[in-house]
Amino acid sequence: MRQVHGRGGFASNGSPGPSNGVGTAEVYGFVGWIASSVAYVIYMLWAYIPASVLEAHGVTYYPSKHWAVAVPAWVCVTVVFVYWLYNGLCMAAVPAPSAGASHSDWASRCKEEAGMASYFSDASSSIPPLVDIPQELVSSILYGDLTPQEAEEQYDRVCRKKGAVE
């Protein structure tokens, strides 16, 4: 379907765009696609045509056929190595599970800082403030067979004892 353009580089439907209907990105993309296709065809011809046929057509200077296999193999190995290296660096940058940095950060707030009486207050009238629930409290509810209120009372008692000792 042909698009008819009016004056000023606008299409007849009023949408802004180049007057010829083709943008710069489309041109560069098409040229890149054609160039990569030509390079692939040349690579495949070089890889599969015997040296005697190439020399009979006047092509005498070309890389060794060894590189037809070596380059793709090295590229595949490099991609796998970079993937493993990236994952390894990400794992090395993560703090240990016992470190405090893995449980809270500079933006963490406890219930006292948010002005809440309980982590599990009734929120039927409004949205409660955003606070971090301590890991010990979550673990005691999930794995300790305690209700949220019982777990919070136990957590508060332990915290008060720690505060009195320190």
Are 77 and 54 members of one domain?
no
Are 57 and 73 members of one domain?
no
Q: How far apart are CA 52 and CA 43, in angstroms?
A: 17
Which of 45, 62, 79 corresponds to the end of one domain? Answer: 62
Q: Which domain holds residue 78?
A: 64-94
Are 110 and 139 members of one domain?
yes
pLDDT band at residue 89 under the 50/70/90 scheme: very high
Percent helix, strand, coil in the chain, to 5, is: 55, 0, 40
- Report pLDDT digits (tens) over 11-28: 555 555 555 678 899 999
Give me the pLDDT at residue 79, please: 98
Mean pLDDT of the region 36-50: 93
Provide the domain count of the chain. Answer: 3
Beta bridge partners of 16: 10
Are 4 and 44 members of one domain?
yes
Are 86 and 126 members of one domain?
no
- Report pLDDT digits (tens) over 97-144: 777 677 677 777 777 777 777 877 766 677 777 888 787 788 888 888
Are 89 and 136 members of one domain?
no
How far does CA 137 lie from the centroid of its chain? 31
Are 49 and 8 members of one domain?
yes
Residue 38 to residues 46, 58, 90, Cα–Cα distance (Å): 12, 20, 39
Are 38 and 5 members of one domain?
yes
Q: How far apart are CA 98 and CA 109, in angstroms?
A: 19
Are 110 and 86 members of one domain?
no
Q: How far apart are CA 150 and CA 156, in angstroms?
A: 10
Give me the pLDDT at residue 34, please: 98
Are 39 and 80 members of one domain?
no
Are 10 and 47 members of one domain?
yes
Are 37 and 89 members of one domain?
no
